[in-house]
Structure 1
Amino acid sequence: MRLEKKATVASSSVAALLVFLKLAVGILSGSIAILASAIDSLLDLIVSLFNYFALHNAEKNPDEKFHFGRSKLEPLAAVIEGTIISLSALFILYEATSKILHPVTMRHMSEGIMVMIASFVITALLVLFLNYVAEKTKNMVIKADALHYKTDLFSNGAVLLALLIIHYTGQELIDPILGIGIAIYMIYSTLPIIKEGVLMLLDVALDKEDVDKIIQVLKEEPEITNYHYLRTRVSGSHIFISFHAVFNNEISLYNAHTIADKVEAKIKQLFDDDKKVHILVHMDPYDDAEINEEEEEW
């Protein structure tokens, strides 16, 4: 099993455990903050299961129906995850506002505090593991999951602090105010995830730094007299690159093909091993960029 899949299994298991604990105590205590955290964990579970499905299918080889594979399932999963988090945050805002308008006395405070301590410790361990996997694999889905559980870690710590303050001061207004703060933070944290996912779905190009490295490889090859129509796009863990390489018209097709293979190998070395780089080289016997100038316009 791939490391990314192990990470989604771990996050799904943790989310399932936290949902059971938080829902039980949240309903018994009447705490909006704990209930909000429980709902967030329930959505975590749904998202983690979907992430497992996305990763499982994204790694499938191209077939007759999907000639370029299913790599876009990864950014799609990130967009769906960000959207679900945002919707859950809106629900938390609604519940917190309702409690401010219609106060409810909290109960079972000791149980709530114990559950939130356990949640904080378990989530902290999961965040450490997900950060390790995200750093090692550079996978967008795991990166989103790591960021998501990191926000959970902060919210769990905030809920725990609020419960302790309420327990010793009796100021229950802190509970819905904290719920509102958690909801706003959840929405704020999802914006980069949704943005990156949407950009990938729209075939965003590589960063300028990576494009410049590709150009440098082309310029360093003496047999390539020029290049044009350099195009790049990112789709999950896949990178697609295409360009026209101009050769001297006296070079043999065999030699031009050999040089193109060498250039492809050098370009692939620019990226991490976990990235699947697909390169298409069109070999021109003369520079036809000006002839097809209109096609170059964006």
Structure 2
Amino acid sequence: MTLQKKATVVSTSVAALLTLMKLVIGIASGSVAVLASAIDSILDMFVSIFNYFAITNSEKPADKTFNYGRGKIEALASVIEGTIITMSGLFLLYHAIKKAMDGTVSQYLDISLIVMILSLFITVFLVMYLNKIAKKTGSMVIKADALHYKTDVYTNAAVLVSLVLVNVTGFEIIDVIVGSAISLFIIYSAYELIHDGILVLLDRAVDDKIVIDIEKIINSNDSVNAYHLLKTREAGHQTFVEVHLVFDCIITLMDAHRASDDIERKIQELDEQRDWVINIHMDPYDDFMIDHK
């Protein structure tokens, strides 16, 4: 089992545990903040399960149907996850408004406090673990999962503060305000997931720094006279690079191929954690300039 899959199994298990704890207490206590956190944990669990299947499919090799592999499934999963998070935020905002109108009073505050403290510590350790895996693998899905649970750390802390204040002051409006704030924060946090996922689906180029480094590698090779149509994109764990290299027309195919291999090797060394897919087209003259005169 790959690190990405292990991470999704861990996050799914943790989400299931947190869901059970918060849902029971949230329903029993009537606290909209605890219930909001419980609903978010339910969504976490289903999203983590979805991420497991997304990663499983994205890791499948290219075939006759999917010539470039299925790496974009991770970006699609990120967009879906962000959409689900947004919907959950709107649902929680509705419950906060409903409690304010109904005037419901929270109960079992002591038990709720214990549950939220445990949830906070568990979630902090989970975020640390997911961030570690995301850095090792470069997986967009795991990065999205880590960001998602990072928002849970803030929401759990906010719920905890809310419960303490309600317990001390007896003002239920605090629970309503915190619940509403959490829902808005959840909606805001989902924007980055949707934004990044859509850019990958639209074949956004890799970071400018990497593109500049690739250009430096090409320019440093004495056998290359010029280059054009440098294109880059990412899909899951793969980074695609395409470029046309212009050689002297009298160079041998062997020498041109050797120079291309050297450039390809140096590009791969820029980040050995990436799975590079490099396609170099060799030109005997700069046909790009001729075609665009």
TM-score (structure 2 length as normaliser) = 0.97
The corresponding residue for 1:35 is: 35
Counterpart contact for 2:137–2:237, Cα < 8 Å? no
Tell whether 2:290 aligns with 1:283.
Answer: no
Question: Displacement, 1:193?
Answer: 1.5
Question: Displacement, 1:223?
Answer: 0.6
The corresponding residue for 2:57 is: 57
> Is 87-96 or 252-261 further displaced after alignment?
252-261
Query: 2:232 and 2:137 mapped to 1: Cα distance?
Result: 21
Query: 1:208 and 1:23 mapped to 2: Cα distance?
Result: 45
Q: Which amino acid aligns with 2:66?
A: F
The corresponding residue for 2:69 is: 69
The corresponding residue for 1:79 is: 79
The corresponding residue for 1:274 is: 273
The 5 Å alignment of 1:180-219 reads 180-219=180-219
The corresponding residue for 1:242 is: 242
Question: Displacement, 1:219?
Answer: 0.6
Q: Which amino acid aligns with 1:278?
A: V
SS at match of 2:224: coil
SS at match of 2:287: coil
SS at match of 1:62: coil
Query: 2:24 and 2:138 mapped to 1: Cα distance?
Result: 36
The corresponding residue for 2:233 is: 233
Query: 2:210 and 2:75 mapped to 1: Cα distance?
Result: 20
The 5 Å alignment of 1:162-181 reads 162-181=162-181
- Percent identity, please: 49
Counterpart contact for 2:225–2:246, Cα < 8 Å? yes
Residue-by-residue CA offset, 1:47-93 (whole Å, 9 max, x unaligned): 00011111111111111111111000111111111110000000001
Tell whether 2:28 aligns with 1:7.
Answer: no
SS at match of 1:231: strand
Q: Which amino acid aligns with 2:43?
A: L
Query: 2:36 and 2:248 mapped to 1: Cα distance?
Result: 67
Q: Which amino acid aligns with 2:73?
A: L
Question: Displacement, 1:157?
Answer: 1.0
TM-score (structure 1 length as normaliser) = 0.96
Query: 1:240 and 1:30 mapped to 2: Cα distance?
Result: 52
Query: 2:209 and 2:273 mapped to 1: Cα distance?
Result: 19
Residue-by-residue CA offset, 1:119-152 (whole Å, 9 max, x unaligned): 1111111111112112222221111111111110
Query: 1:74 and 1:117 mapped to 2: Cα distance?
Result: 32
Which runs of 5 or more residues in structure 2 are unaligned? Answer: none
The corresponding residue for 1:258 is: 258
- Cα RMSD after superposing both structures: 1.1
Which runs of 5 or more residues in structure 1 are unaligned? Answer: none
Q: Which amino acid aligns with 2:152?
A: D
Query: 2:69 and 2:42 mapped to 1: Cα distance?
Result: 31
Question: Displacement, 1:117?
Answer: 1.2
> Is 244-253 or 133-142 further displaced after alignment?
133-142
The 5 Å alignment of 1:19-34 reads 19-34=19-34
